[in-house]
Amino acid sequence: MTLAYVALGSNLGNPKQQVLDAMDALAKLPATCLLRHSPLYGTPPWGLLKQPRFVNAVAELDTLLSPHLLLDALLAIEQQAGRVRAERNGPRTLDLDVLHIEGVQLDDERLTLPHPRMAERAFVLLPLNDVAPALWLPGHGMVAELLGGLDLGGCERLLAP
């Protein structure tokens, strides 16, 4: 089994419920165990600023799935949630990203690990810090230290449902 970290986000429909439903779907993946997840966070949009706020979280998985099989499983969960890929950084019902897989560095046409832009994004590092503050991200650094260098303005921990 290998530790993997997945970012979850939504800002369309009922974003809180979309993220919670995605957590349930992650827990049901074959050859995978959902070990823990962060609290939910309300965060400002990234990229395209004229869109609703997001709900974000991070899940820690223990999985036997290869990086590409995990990616395929995440894309299937997104599709089941009604995800339409209309524009980059635009509004979405659900966004699931493989952030890091223990011991894996990868850069191909489908997947780059660790995720190349996560060290710049408070909406990723804030919930990742809740589940793995001491995680070392190759090419970036330790999660807790990276988070300390980001603007957390507009990010708020949401109450449990």
Residues in Cβ contact with 74 at an 8 Å cutoff, skipping those fewer than 6 apart: 6, 96, 97, 98
Catalytic residues: 83, 92, 95, 97
Q: What was the pLDDT predicted at 6?
A: 98
Cis peptide upstream of residue 116 (ω within 30 degrees of 0): no
Q: What was the pLDDT predicted at 87?
A: 65
| CA 73 – CA 31 distance, rounded (Å) | 11
Q: What was the pLDDT predicted at 161?
A: 57
**Minimum mean pLDDT range among 7-11, 46-50, 137-141, 148-152:** 46-50
Fold held by 2-157: Alpha-Beta Plaits (3.30.70)
Q: What was the pLDDT predicted at 39?
A: 97
Instruction: Return the top range by mean pLDDT from 29-33, 86-90, 91-95.
Output: 29-33
Average pLDDT, the chain: 94
**Minimum mean pLDDT range among 43-47, 89-93, 101-105:** 89-93
Per-residue pLDDT band for 86 (boundaries 50, 70, 90) equals low
Annotate 80-111 with b (16+ C-beta within 10 A) or e (fewer). ebebeeeeeeebbbbbbbbbbbeeeeeeeeeb
**Minimum mean pLDDT range among 35-39, 74-78, 123-127, 137-141:** 137-141
Q: What is the pLDDT of residues 97-143, one digit of tens each?
A: 999 999 999 999 999 999 999 999 999 999 999 999 999 999 899 99
Per-residue pLDDT band for 51 (boundaries 50, 70, 90) equals very high
Amino acid at 58: V
